[in-house]
Structure 1
Amino acid sequence: NGTQALFETEQAADLTLLRRIADGLRRKMAFFQSKAGRRVSSTVRVLINLPHGPAWDKTVRVWERATAIVADEHGGHLSFKIVALPLQEFLQAPDWEEPPDPARWESLFDPAQTTVFGLARSGTRTQTAVRKPARRMVSKLPAPLRRRSARNDRLILAAFWQVFQEQAPILGGDHSRPDPAFFDVMRIIYTASNDPHADILTQAALPHASLYLLRKYLQMHPRLRDALSKAVTRGSGSMRWSVSTIFHRMQAVIATFLKYHGWRADGPLLAYPVLTGWGEEGTQTFSVVARIRNPELLMGEDDEVVPGRDEVRQAEEALAWVLWALFAYSDDLGLKHPVFW
């Protein structure tokens, strides 16, 4: 459509090239923050002279690390998008569209690798100031004097723990606790198409309302959407899929979704993929289980009554469905489609 765009050709990369790649990304940040950058497509296309495979995956990981480093220096954001495609694939079928076809190009930026990835709670301050690269500390003590006993390590770590508790909000990254209102959001999304009091035809129909709300929610949180697409497709070109590797990939996507909201998947809130048993009634496919092992997780600061089992079960069902929908309805949600689904 006449829009100017930046194309780069690159070779295989390893960590020895990390600094060079990061320096190039910093120059791109400066360019796209300038007046000249406004006249150019905000998507940088990188053509890597490698086919999809282990070498490609290794190179992409190096670029992801570099983009995360530069993004952390600017509050966790890049002023441009950067995507990659094997050079030979581009030569065989050029893509000059603006924006480029997301089904073909792989993003080289994974928001989940930045230190500020997550959903800031209301009332908390997020760090948006530009970070200065940490200076390397060089000890002047002789090596024998730098050795510490386990007792000294314990005292030092105890001091660090106290510092963390006092200064966590300014140490870089959002260390605030997860918000129980998260479960209310999941319930709203789920209930839109899974209301047990709706008429039978509505219950039997495709979950259009729930998918609409979930798609809008992901549009409200583009960093989460990008991180989920990255997590579900990472290394797919060289992966040999089996039940174990599919479980591992699904768990990584689940962890990314929960991490963004401040939760982990292996604590009082448990979330994991399962495979429907052959003797069980239901669709024979992969699904997701969510377990709230302590009902107090649902309690807000002003709540005084511990939720009952029915309320806990509803929250579990809602969260499990949303996590499952990230795979089963990825196309409807604007996410990259998992090749194993």
Structure 2
Amino acid sequence: MPRPRCEQISLTDTPYYHIISRCVRRTFLCGQDQATGKSFEHRRQWIEDRIRLLASLFAVDIAAYAVMSNHYHLVVKLDPAQAESWSDDDVLGRWTCLFKGPLLLQRYLAGDKQESYELAQVAEFAQCYRQRLASLSWFMKCLNELIARQANQEDGCTGHFWEARFKSQALRTEAALLSCMAYVDLNPVRAGMADTPETSEHTSIKERIAPRFDLAQAVREQVKLDALLRFDVPVKPLLPFEGAFADREQPGIPFALEDYLSLVDYTGRAIDPRKKGAIADTQPPILQRLGLTPDQWLAQSTQFEALHRQQRRSAA
């Protein structure tokens, strides 16, 4: 018998979870429909951009993702401490990037003068929204519901787009986290959709190797509300790799990115008889395929944020 969602998510056990959501009847509603020949590939970009928008607004970090033709995978880290550190105005600004909110809240954000009892009600709204912005269920609701509405509107139909609520799996050890991330990043290779991880579209490993420097613009284009103009929400990058294990608590992934790439490359070469694809043995090691020496890769991975800002400024 399925367990309630509140029993499946326990931050005292682990903040990391593997999430899966599938299209109804597992049809290719985000890929090439084999029956009609119609392509829905553009919907994969819808999902990827929506994931990054919600990660920027919620107290949820994305460690890995892969958007396939009829399902998607997420590896997330829940961090309620992020939400607790936000001011009430921060919380209200983030929430109104997604929803208008009650009229009382709209008046408050517009700067209208309010009585003390109205301000008390606004504070109650902020506390409610703070809890929601730290909730995995609300994160998934805001992700799946909008994609379903967009797809149904495009198809001119009604009904379910996703076959059920999302499935979640707790990742309680570092080994479970890394193996799950590698599994997610290798999904397109295993499905025969890509030859190598770095050429697999709509995956976190491709974003880590070749970041999208127009990501901020892509995220902001999804939000048409005036609230975003008043509250500049920064686009949150993927959860970073922090290197070897340390005695202190590490907010990022306790593993070196270079080692993770080698792990994914090694795992992808193993032939699984149940899957269509694998990385060919004739392919050189991944750093060699990327045209980088270990020293170059180390510099690029350790200075990622600075390079990210520099390339965005030069592109502007």
TM-score (norm 1): 0.27
TM-score (norm 2): 0.28
